[in-house]
Homo-oligomer: A and B are copies of this chain.
Amino acid sequence: MDLKLYLKAHIQTVDAALGRYLPEADRMPHALHQAMRYSIFAGGKRVRPLLAIAACEAVGGAVDDVLPVACALEMIHTYSLIHDDLPAMDNDDFRRGRPTNHKQFGEANAILAGDALLTEAFALLASSSSGAAEVRLRVLHLIARAAGCAGMVGGQVIDMESEGKAIDLPTLEYIHIHKTGALIRASLEAGALIGGADEATLQKLSRYGELAGLAFQIADDILDVVGDQTEIGKDVGSDAARGKATYVALLGLSESRLRADELRQLALQTLDDFGPGADPLRQIVNYIVERTS
């Protein structure tokens, strides 16, 4: 399989579905719907939807069945970016080369657009007709858990508290496992459950998600130091300049690369018993570690 073609085709499918699921921009309240769409269609890599789809396909499920879940994951991820960028949080003026949501629509609309994306994600998860109701409730619950206190929001709180402080590796891992890892892992679990995975298979894909999520974060930290600014769309070295702890700062560049590669190998091992249906997952974790943007 050609990963680039695979990703391109699935990103198109996800984008089209997001366009259908989100309220139209010309419906009242216009500012709200425009702000939601502005950040959803800001050139995101669709990592979480792609992982959910790939997990669903790896267990023999259909893309159409997992699309609502894939889009809900992207809506939750996007809300978190909008709120993270706010003046009271990271105070970022640009994301992916464009003004952040609050720079474009004002702070009140940005907060509310984030709130609305989070809420509509759950409305979408609850209204989707794919799968048994029990499975859909379980998927909704695991995504909510991954996004809430014990996951993404909890990680963001510790991240904010740690800024400018000298933190150790366990704290850094706590932040990443919660702030980004939990939702990535949930993407795999949700895709697997919608695809009909049994418990043993679910656990393997959950573990893949845990490992790939951490590899993704280390690769991000490496890119922050060695990446090409025009490719990654933010200032190189911006995390370090802001006093954010990174793997590279704590472990050094070569040790970080070794760690990312080790995680990649472990993630690939979780897929040993899977057939060619898991090839996208295999290639995605390779791409995560080797990407240059």
Q: Which listed residue, B108, B118, B138, B149, touches A23 by the CB 8 Å rule?
A: B149
Given contacts A120-B144, A133-B134, contact A89 B115 (CB under 8 A): no
Given contacts A133-B134, A137-B136, A144-B122, contact A149 B116 (CB under 8 A): yes
- Interface of chain A, main secondary structure: helix
Docked-complex contact A127 and B141, CB < 8 angstroms: yes
Neighbouring B residues of A115 by C-beta, 8 Å: 79, 83, 114-115, 118, 153
Taking the full assembly, how many copies of this chain does it contain?
2
Docked-complex contact A133 and B123, CB < 8 angstroms: no
Docked-complex contact A144 and B123, CB < 8 angstroms: yes
- Rounded to whole angstroms, the CA-CA distance of A112 and B80 in the bound complex is 10
In the complex, A292 has a CB within 8 A of chain B: no
In the complex, A264 has a CB within 8 A of chain B: no
- Rounded to whole angstroms, the CA-CA distance of A127 and B144 in the bound complex is 10
Interface string of A125-160 (1 = CB under 8 A from B): 011000011101110110011011110011011101
Chain A contacts with B in 152-175, Cβ cutoff 8 A: 153-154, 156-158, 160-161
